[in-house]
Amino acid sequence: MKLYPKVNSNEWVQPIRKGYKMACCDCGLIHEMDFKIVKNRVQFRARRNNRATGQFRRYNYQNK
Protein backbone atom coordinates (compact mmCIF):
# COMPACT_ATOMS: atom_id res chain seq x y z
CA MET A 1 0.00 0.00 0.00
CA LYS A 2 1.23 3.48 -0.83
CA LEU A 3 1.88 5.91 1.99
CA TYR A 4 -0.65 8.35 0.51
CA PRO A 5 -3.23 6.39 -1.51
CA LYS A 6 -4.81 8.09 -4.52
CA VAL A 7 -8.41 9.07 -3.71
CA ASN A 8 -10.73 10.56 -6.29
CA SER A 9 -12.91 13.57 -5.57
CA ASN A 10 -16.06 12.76 -3.60
CA GLU A 11 -14.88 9.19 -2.89
CA TRP A 12 -15.41 7.58 0.53
CA VAL A 13 -12.37 6.16 2.30
CA GLN A 14 -11.92 3.93 5.33
CA PRO A 15 -9.20 5.60 7.42
CA ILE A 16 -7.27 4.05 10.26
CA ARG A 17 -8.17 5.28 13.73
CA LYS A 18 -4.98 7.19 14.65
CA GLY A 19 -2.30 8.82 12.56
CA TYR A 20 -4.16 8.63 9.23
CA LYS A 21 -2.26 10.76 6.71
CA MET A 22 -4.09 12.48 3.91
CA ALA A 23 -2.45 14.30 1.00
CA CYS A 24 -4.22 17.10 -0.84
CA CYS A 25 -4.17 16.32 -4.55
CA ASP A 26 -3.98 19.99 -5.63
CA CYS A 27 -1.33 21.49 -3.35
CA GLY A 28 0.37 18.51 -1.70
CA LEU A 29 -0.38 19.43 1.92
CA ILE A 30 -0.18 16.46 4.26
CA HIS A 31 -2.61 16.30 7.18
CA GLU A 32 -2.55 13.80 10.02
CA MET A 33 -6.00 12.90 11.26
CA ASP A 34 -7.19 11.04 14.36
CA PHE A 35 -10.72 9.69 14.82
CA LYS A 36 -12.74 8.59 17.84
CA ILE A 37 -16.32 7.73 18.70
CA VAL A 38 -17.95 9.53 21.64
CA LYS A 39 -21.56 8.70 22.50
CA ASN A 40 -22.11 7.04 19.10
CA ARG A 41 -20.82 10.10 17.21
CA VAL A 42 -17.60 10.31 15.23
CA GLN A 43 -15.11 13.01 16.14
CA PHE A 44 -11.88 13.81 14.34
CA ARG A 45 -8.98 16.21 14.61
CA ALA A 46 -6.57 17.22 11.90
CA ARG A 47 -3.18 18.90 11.89
CA ARG A 48 -0.77 19.81 9.13
CA ASN A 49 2.45 17.79 8.99
CA ASN A 50 5.04 20.26 7.68
CA ARG A 51 7.87 17.73 7.34
CA ALA A 52 5.79 15.21 5.39
CA THR A 53 4.41 18.04 3.22
CA GLY A 54 7.94 19.11 2.25
CA GLN A 55 8.97 15.55 1.45
CA PHE A 56 5.80 14.87 -0.56
CA ARG A 57 6.12 18.08 -2.57
CA ARG A 58 9.83 17.52 -3.20
CA TYR A 59 9.21 14.01 -4.55
CA ASN A 60 5.96 14.65 -6.46
CA TYR A 61 6.34 18.20 -7.78
CA GLN A 62 9.99 18.39 -8.85
CA ASN A 63 10.67 19.51 -12.43
CA LYS A 64 7.03 20.37 -13.10
- Return the ∠ at Cα 21 (arms to 42 and 36), rounded to 5°: 20
* pTM (two decimals): 0.62
pLDDT in tens, the chain (64 residues): 467 777 676 777 777 788 888 877 677 888 888 888 899 988 888 888 999 989 888 888 775 5
CB 45 within 8 A of CB 36: no
